[in-house]
Structure 1
Amino acid sequence: MTKIFSFSISLIILMQSFGIHANDISQIDELMEHAQFHNEQYGDGILVFIAKHYGELKADHAIDHQEEKEDHEQLPFQHQCHLSSISSFILNSFNEEFKSMELPEFNEHNFYYQEPSSSLHLEGLFQPPRLS
């Protein structure tokens, strides 16, 4: 089950990276019908069909065949996606030497340490065992 799930998520990410939407997949049959129409009507092969609808001949084909405008709008992969990213950085050439800050010297002590002393220690109470 996890393999199917991971495969489907990977497939979705791959399709999104190519710019394929879900409605494009549902319009594949219209693409096939229109390609077949072009083959029968004009004798276009698949490469010429793709060039007329998605490539360099698209503008000329749209002008020459206004009657097919509604069919062309139903074809998949007609959406326009523009992604732009602007990356900039500024090199700051302002260079100022850091002046060291002079701290006043404090001679006062904030605490006093007294060595611990205990009468129990002097009596030998905390000694290691003598018999084992």
Structure 2
Amino acid sequence: MSKLLSISLSFVVLLQSFGVSLCDVSQIDEFIEHAQFHSEQYGDNVLVFISKHYGELKATHDKEHQEEKEDHEQLPFQHQSHFSSATAFVLIAYKEHFKSFEISEYKSHNFFYQAPSSSLHSEGILQPPRHS
């Protein structure tokens, strides 16, 4: 069970590193439906379809087919996002011997124990299960 959980979490991290969200995964059916529409209507294969919606033909396709604008907004991977990260690692070669510290003998207790006084405990109702 732990291996399955580890693999699934690794897969989620991999998808997120590519910029794929769960919203995009849920819109895959819209992608397939629109690709089939293009295949039937315009005779486009998958590569031409991807080029028209995500590649170099996108601008001309958007201008020529304004009636499909609502369908295009439902396609996955349409979000514009920018991911950047800056990592700084500073190694300081500073060595100082730790000074010994004194432990004081003063002890302050912030808790106390009070014996249970409920009637259920004194009657013996709450008992652990016994083997028969």
TM-score category of the 2 structures, normalised to the smaller one: 0.5 to 0.7
Cα deviation for residue 40 of structure 1 reads 0.2
TM-score scaled to structure 2, two decimals? 0.63
Q: Distance in 2 between matches of 1:17 and 1:84?
A: 11
Query: Amino acid of the residue matched to residue 2 of structure 1?
Result: S
**Superimposed CA distance per residue, residues 11-69 of structure 1 (whole angstroms, 9 cap, x where no aligned partner):** 00000011000011110001000000000000000000000000010011000000000
Cα deviation for residue 83 of structure 1 reads 2.4
TM-score scaled to structure 1, two decimals? 0.63
Partner of 1:29, secondary structure, is: helix
- Spell out the pairing of 1:79-94 with structure 2 (5 A cutoff): 79-85=79-85
RMSD: 1.6
**Superimposed CA distance per residue, residues 68-87 of structure 1 (whole angstroms, 9 cap, x where no aligned partner):** 00000000000011124578
Are residues 1:43 and 2:40 paired? Answer: no
Q: Which residue of 1 aligns with 2:13?
A: 13
Identity of aligned residues (%): 68
Structure with larger Rg: 1
Cα 1:5–1:23 shift into 2, 3 Å = same
Q: Distance in 2 between matches of 1:44 and 1:83?
A: 32
Cα 1:8–1:54 shift into 2, 3 Å = same
Report the number of matched residues. 88
Cα 1:17–1:84 shift into 2, 3 Å = closer
Unaligned runs of 5+ in 1: 88-132
Q: Distance in 2 between matches of 1:7 and 1:56?
A: 36
Q: Which residue of 1 aligns with 2:2?
A: 2
Cα 1:86–1:17 shift into 2, 3 Å = closer
Runs (4+) off by over 4 Å: none
- Spell out the pairing of 1:1-132 with structure 2 (5 A cutoff): 1-85=1-85
